[in-house]
A and B are shown apart, each in its own frame.
Chain A
Amino acid sequence: MKRVVITGAGTINALGQDVAQTLAAFREGRCGISALDFRDVDRLSIRIGGQVHGWDAETHFNRQQIALYDRFTQFTLLAAGQAIRQSGLNFDGELGYEAGVVLGTAGGGVNTWDENYRVVYEEGKNRVHPFVVPKLMNNAAASHVSMEFNLRGPSFTVATACASSNHAMGQAFHMIRGGATKVMVTGGSESMLCFGGVKAWEGLRVMSRDACRPFSANRNGMVQGEGAGVFVFEEYDHARARGAEILAEVVGFAMTSDASDIVMPSKQGAARAMAGALRDAGIDREKVGYINAHGTGTAANDKTECAAVADVFGHHADTLMISSTKSMHGHLIGGTGAVELLACIMALREGVIAPTIGYQEPDPECALDVVPNEARTAPVEVAMSNAFAFGGLNAVLVLARA
């Protein structure tokens, strides 16, 4: 089996429009959650989110591209460009025939759905722009990345709600490990911060009106974010032969299904995914120094996740650090695992653990070291990234220091 490493990373999210800005925010424990700014926000009861403000598509794309790119595709292309540039890879030659792109998104072109439903339902028009379908389809981002960078290998989009990008990165990992390809561009994106997108989430009554406070006893729900995280996964020998800078090694992945409830998480399903990922990595649980939690800030997730971590790690659960960066960038739904993987890479490379901000009161049901409010310095050999989706679909990645 081949070893798999990460040789490029890119992102845009509420904390910044590249990796450096995002990691700086993680170190500072800065909050990117702010007042939402879009049409009809006054008709929403939830008015905060991890929105990307000051995004000007025209500085990145021409008019014809913008006509075809939903906001989630725009974010993806920006992040993919950063990742591929950092990797130093070029796909114009033979490599382009095997390198592919697998990305996660839950909603795809939600802004495009929203804008065009307005046109036909609210404005009563009977004609929509011809590119509505190619803009909104969930694979639009993956397809545009493939076209932009000449990636002609296995390419597709994974939709498993909040676990989409972890599932996507797991597929990329498997494909390289199994020898199907040497390079995959992978990660995920989401952009559903628009009237219809947030209104739908309001319906579930799980959204916070003031802040995302994972693991804090006074937490009152999740806060949605938007953006993208994209990585270059590469076969180890290939990366080494060309002298590429290795950001981290992907050593394990597992996925499980709760097979129980469409929204309520299961301790057993989460625990099986974490234990499975450690088994897959062949790594002793005591080696794990940091877990980037799913940590949504809902009552149900946080206590279930903490109980699952305690089950899997035993006494070591009291030693390891676990934080939720959703407190800073919000929940990017199908893109969240990708942005959160950056916190794992930072822990491994820099020995800096991103905090769980907004933490105010200990919760006896979440009695782990959640790195409250301030980043911490500590060497980390192995980091784990959790994603537990609506629908009970769980995906956990394990990374090791390069």
Chain B
Amino acid sequence: MASFVEKKVIEIIAEQAILDVSDVSLDASLEDLGIDSLGLVESIFAIEEAFDITVPFNANEPEKSDFDISSVAAIVRAVEGLVAGQAA
């Protein structure tokens, strides 16, 4: 069953992509979903707000960021890590 984090992240991404949550698959990349660079920073803002976390993401160097955004699944894993780190 999908974790709470997975469900919430998919909701946020679906809202940005103006898609139904059922159309956001875990292996899709943000590009596949039609989310551009502005949509990405808006998604990260929404994730930070939803989980009260700080996402280590610099839009100048997205590829060098510690936060893996290569797919929806990668984002979910990264957020789970940040949420767990916060609880610890």
A residues neighboring B (CB under 8 Å): 63-64, 67-68, 127, 129-131
Contact = CB atoms under 8 A, between A and B. Distances in A.
Interface string B24-49: 00000000000000100110110011
A318 B49 CA distance: 64
Contact of B45 (A63, A68, A127): A127
Interface string B1-16: 0000000000000000
B34 to A, nearest CB: 11
A67 B41 CA distance: 12
A188 B14 CA distance: 37
Nearest to A68: B38
A131 B42 contact: yes
Contacts of B38: 68, 130-131
By size class, the interface of chain B is: under 10
B48 A130 contact: no
A127 B41 CA distance: 13
A127 B53 CA distance: 10
B49 to A, nearest CB: 7
Contacts of A64: 18
A67 B48 CA distance: 17
Name the 7 nearest CB pairs between A and B, nearest first: A130-B41, A130-B45, A130-B42, A127-B48, A129-B45, A127-B49, A67-B42
A153 B44 CA distance: 35
Interface of B is mostly: helix
Contacts of A131: 38, 42
Nearest to A127: B48
A111 to B, nearest CB: 19
A74 B85 CA distance: 42
A133 to B, nearest CB: 11
Interface centre among A63, A64, A129, A130 (most CB of B within 10 A): A130
A68 B41 CA distance: 13
Nearest to B45: A130
14 contacts: A63-B18, A64-B18, A67-B42, A68-B38, A127-B48, A127-B49, A129-B42, A129-B45, A130-B38, A130-B41, A130-B42, A130-B44, A131-B38, A131-B42
Contacts of A129: 42, 45
Nearest to B54: A127
Nearest to B48: A127
Nearest to A130: B41
A68 B39 CA distance: 11
B81 to A, nearest CB: 19
A130 B45 CA distance: 7
A68 B38 CA distance: 10
Contacts of B44: 130
A140 to B, nearest CB: 14
Contacts of A63: 18
B19 to A, nearest CB: 13
A130 to B, nearest CB: 4
A127 B44 CA distance: 11
A64 B49 CA distance: 18
B17 to A, nearest CB: 11
Interface centre among B44, B45, B48 (most CB of A within 10 A): B45
A58 to B, nearest CB: 14
A67 B45 CA distance: 13
Contacts of A130: 38, 41-42, 44-45
A131 B48 CA distance: 15
A381 to B, nearest CB: 50
Nearest to A63: B18
A120 to B, nearest CB: 14
